[in-house]
Amino acid sequence: MGASLALASKQIIIYGGIPVCITGIIGNALNLIVFLSLETFRKNACAFYLIMMSMFNIGQLCFSFFFSRVIIALIGTDGTTSSLFYCKFRILLSQLCVAASLTCFCLATVDQFFATCSQPRWQRFSNIKVAHRLVIVTILFWICHGIPYIVFYHYIESSTNTTSCGSDNLMFNNYRAYFFVLGLVGYLPVLVAASFGYLSYRKIQQIAYRTVPIVRRELDKQLTSMVLIQVIVNVFTLLPYTTANALATNASFTNDPSIQRQFQLILNIIIIIYYIYFASPFYIYMCASERFRRQFLYVLSKLYCFNQCKQPTMIHNQITPEVQTASKQ
C-alpha cells in the first residue's frame, strides 16, 4: 500500500508537472511578447507589473518546479547535493521568484484601484515611473530577504546516511514555515489582491459616468477584468497549498507514516494546482478579454509579416533574347 502511494505521488508530479511547466513557460513568454509589442501596454503601470510577474513566473516554473520537484520525481535527485553553491542559489532564486511574482500581482491590483479612482490625487499613483521604482524596491527587498537562506541552507545528513540540501536552524525554519510561507506568500497576497480587486470592480462600474478619454476607459476596463478574473483563479490555486502547509506544520498530524504517505499524495495534487497560478495568466487573459485576444492575433500577424519581409527574395534578372523573323524581300 505504501509503495503504491509513493509511486502514485511520483506519477502525479511527472504527468501533471511537465504539462504545467511547458504550457506555463509558453504562456508567460506569449504574455511578454504581447505586452512588450504594444505601446499601449508598455506605457501602462498595471501592464508593467504583469510583465514583471510573467518574468518571475517563468523563473519559478523553471527553478522551483521543474528543476526541483519534477527532476526529483524523474531521476531521484535535483543536483543540489552535488554543489553547495547550487543548493543555496536555487533556494534563493526560488523564494525571490515566488515572492516577487505575488508582489507584482498585488501591485497590479492596487494600481488598477488607483487608476479607476475619480480623485486625481489617487490617480497619480498609477504611474509608470512609480511602477519602475516599486519593482526595483521589490526585487532588492526580496533579494535581501533571501540572505538568511544563503546563510542557513547547507548539507544535512539524515539518520539513513542520505544527504539533502536544507536548514536545521529551528528559529529560521519556524520563521519560514509560519511567517513567510503562510503569511507573506500565503494568505496575505490573496487577501490584498482580493480586496483591491473588489474595490477596482466597484470603481470600474462608475467609470462610464465620468469624463474619461475613451481609450483609457477601455484599457482600464480590459486590465481590470483580466486582473479580477485572475484574482478569482488565484483564490482556488493558492489557498489550498497554503492550508496544506499549515496542516503540515502540525507535528502530531504527520507522525503516523501511513497518514504521511496519504497526505503526500494529496499534497502533490495540491502542488500541481498551486503551480497553475504561475502557468495560467496568459490563458486567463485570453478567456477574460476579447480585446486581449484581438491584440494577441494582431501581434502574431505583425511578427509573421516581419519574418516574411526578412526572407530573401529571388531576383530574376535574366534577359530573354528576342527572336526576330527576317522579312522576305
pLDDT, tens digit (0-9, with 9 covering 90-100), for 176-199: 988 999 999 999 999 999 999 999
Q: Which residues contact 179 (CB under 8 A, 6 or more apart)?
A: none
pLDDT at 53: 97
Q: Alpha carbon 54 to chain centroid distance?
A: 5
Q: Alpha carbon 251 to chain centroid distance?
A: 31
Contact 29, 113 (CB under 8 A): no
- Any idea of the CA torsion for 37, 41, 47, 51, to the nearest 10 degrees? 10
Instruction: Return d(Cα 288, Cα 293) in angstroms, integer.
Output: 9
Residue for cell digits 495568466? 281
Instruction: Return d(Cα 9, Cα 293) in angstroms, integer.
Output: 37
SS3 state of residue 117: coil
The model's confidence at residue 254, banded by pLDDT at 50, 70 and 90, is low
Contact 223, 112 (CB under 8 A): yes
Q: If you average pLDDT over residues 54-70, what whole number do you get?
A: 90
Instruction: Return d(Cα 255, Cα 294) in angstroms, integer.
Output: 54
Domains located in the chain, CATH noted: 10-301 (1.20.1070.10)
Q: If you average pLDDT over residues 285-299, what whole number do you get?
A: 94
pLDDT for residue 246 is more than 90: no
Contact 72, 152 (CB under 8 A): no
How far the first Cα of the chain sits from its last, in Å, is 109
Contact 225, 138 (CB under 8 A): no
pLDDT at 329: 40
Q: What is the pTM of this model?
A: 0.88
Residue for cell digits 501596454? 41
Range with the largest mean pLDDT of 47-51, 61-65, 84-88, 252-256: 47-51
- The amino acid sitting at 202 is R
